[in-house]
């Protein structure tokens, strides 16, 4: 059976850095609160002078990944684009990204799995590869959160954690008999918690999806989150799904060289590590630089972990894990060839 191998990774974040202190100028928050509760020190946001969409950030990340893989855009035979902040309502950002790459007929699939977009995307890419439907898949996670955040104190719990950014991986089918590539994945969703983290408008379940009598200040235009509920779910489900994927892969936690988790809150990932009795250096963090970049978060962390030499040597095993809006959660294990 064909194996799904990562041939190249790439990242792109908008250059404008917003520090915690910058946020204190627009809302009632503090550097101390944000650092202590989340581990975030800064994030990157697009600017009014240079607005752009998730697909634009994704295109830059994709170009870097393509170069690393030694591919040209024409080599790609399937695109998977993960975002919760699409450039426009429709068509999907995958089509826009393909257009940016100059492609005219390459299939492009958008997925809306929020913080687990990379996990769902990698599993989908692997299924296409194993089914013989694709050989070279470009998987991109990209978000422009900042243009949709509530910049008043009302939205501070969400606004301080979200950052803009993108990351991409080139995944190729390989005929090797070795047990490498995407070894196993476990995915879940529970829509009963959909209200715990959501943006409601525009909404096709209303008679007018953009009601004329609603003020642009209406909280339904902004992401709202029941942070403590999501936090508690994460510290319970992330270890659980880790054990599930380890069992599928017939591995032990000690076989994992590095956990690359979704970067939602450093405290969540530390609690996860304590539960699984992992040494601190076995969990990768870059939330301090970027905040929560949702669909971009795991591939962005992977790209930097590889750049820093933390993982990527032949035989290294990395475990990806995350939970977010939906709720959706999952984990996967990848072994470098």
Helices (H), 2-116: 20-24, 31-38, 54-69, 93-100
Contact pattern from residue 145 through residue 164 relative to ligand UT7, giving x for each residue in contact according to CB under 6 A and a dash for the rest: -----------xx--xx---
227 binds ligand UT7 (CB under 6 A): yes
Residue 115 is a catalytic residue: yes
85 or 265: CB nearest ligand UT7: 265
Query: Angle CA(96)–CA(286)–CA(55) in degrees, nearest 5?
Result: 5
Among 115, 140, 166, 182, indicate the residue that binds ligand UT7 (CB under 6 A): 115
Cβ-based neighbours of 192, under 8 Å, separated by 6 or more: none
Residue 262 is a catalytic residue: yes
Instruction: Check 100, 262, 269, 303 and give the catalytic one.
Output: 262
The torsion angle over the Cα atoms of residues 294, 300, 302 and 306, rounded to 10 degrees, is -170
How far apart are CB 324 and ligand UT7 at their closest, in Å? 4
Q: How many CB atoms lie within 10 A of CB 320?
A: 25
33 or 275: CB nearest ligand UT7: 33
Contact pattern from residue 34 through residue 73 relative to ligand UT7, giving x for each residue in contact according to CB under 6 A and a dash for the rest: x--xx-----------------------------------
321 binds ligand UT7 (CB under 6 A): no
How far apart are CB 227 and ligand UT7 at their closest, in Å? 3
219 binds ligand UT7 (CB under 6 A): no
d(CA 158, CA 62): 28
95 or 224: CB nearest ligand UT7: 224
Among 42, 55, 199, 265, indicate the residue that binds ligand UT7 (CB under 6 A): 265
Q: Are 84 and 51 in contact (CB under 8 A)?
A: no
The residue ranges of DSSP E strands in 144-274, in sequence order, are 165-174, 181-189, 197-198, 224-225, 258-261
Q: Which residue's Cβ has the minimum distance to ligand UT7?
A: 227
How far apart are CB 224 and ligand UT7 at their closest, in Å? 11
d(CA 113, CA 95): 18
Of 51-59, 127-135, 264-272, 309-317: span binding ligand UT7 (CB under 6 A):
264-272
d(CA 13, CA 60): 9
How far apart are CB 261 and ligand UT7 at their closest, in Å? 11
| Cα distances (Å, whole numbers) of residue 117 to 81, 173, 186, 187, 283 | 8, 20, 13, 11, 20
Peptide bond connecting 166 to the previous residue in cis, omega within 30 degrees of 0: no
d(CA 61, CA 140): 8
Residue 95 is a catalytic residue: no
Among 261, 273, 299, 324, indicate the residue that binds ligand UT7 (CB under 6 A): 324
In the complex, the residues that contact ligand UT7 under the rule CB under 6 A are 29, 33-34, 37-38, 115, 156-157, 160-161, 197, 227-228, 230-231, 234, 264-265, 268, 292, 324
What positions carry a catalytic annotation?
Answer: 115, 262, 292
């Amino acid at each position: 059976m064909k194996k799904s191998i990562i041939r190249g990774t790439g990242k792109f974040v908008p250059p404008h850095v917003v520090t915690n202190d910058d946020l204190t100028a627009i809302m009632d928050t503090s550097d101390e609160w944000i650092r202590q509760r989340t581990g975030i020190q800064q994030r990157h946001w697009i600017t009014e002078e240079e607005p752009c969409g998730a697909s634009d950030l994704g295109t830059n990340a994709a170009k870097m990944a393509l170069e690393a893989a030694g591919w040209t855009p024409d080599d790609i035979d399937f695109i998977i684009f993960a975002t919760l902040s699409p450039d426009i309502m429709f068509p999907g950002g995958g089509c826009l990204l393909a257009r940016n790459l100059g492609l005219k007929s390459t299939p492009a699939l958008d997925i809306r799995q929020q913080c687990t977009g990379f996990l769902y995307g990698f599993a989908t890419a692997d299924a296409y590869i194993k089914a013989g439907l694709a050989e070279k898949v470009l998987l991109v996670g990209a978000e422009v959160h900042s243009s949709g955040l509530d910049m008043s104190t009302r939205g501070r719990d969400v606004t301080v954690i979200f950052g803009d950014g993108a990351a991409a991986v080139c995944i190729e089918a390989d005929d090797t008999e070795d047990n490498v590539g995407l070894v196993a994945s476990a995915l879940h969703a529970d829509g009963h918690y959909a209200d715990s983290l959501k943006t409601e408008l525009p909404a096709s379940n209303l008679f007018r999806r953009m009601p004329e009598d609603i003020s642009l200040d209406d909280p339904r235009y902004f992401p709202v989150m029941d942070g403590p509920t999501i936090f508690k779910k994460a510290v319970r489900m992330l270890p659980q799904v880790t054990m599930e994927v380890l069992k599928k892969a017939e591995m032990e936690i000690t076989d994992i060289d590095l956990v690359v988790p979704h970067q939602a809150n450093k405290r969540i990932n530390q609690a996860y590590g304590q539960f699984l009795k992992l040494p601190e250096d076995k969990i990768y963090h870059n939330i301090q630089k970027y905040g929560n970049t949702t669909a971009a978060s795991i591939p962005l962390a992977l790209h930097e972990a590889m750049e820093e030499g933390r993982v990527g040597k032949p035989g290294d095993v990395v475990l990806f894990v995350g939970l977010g809006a939906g709720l959706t959660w999952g984990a996967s294990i990848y072994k470098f060839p």
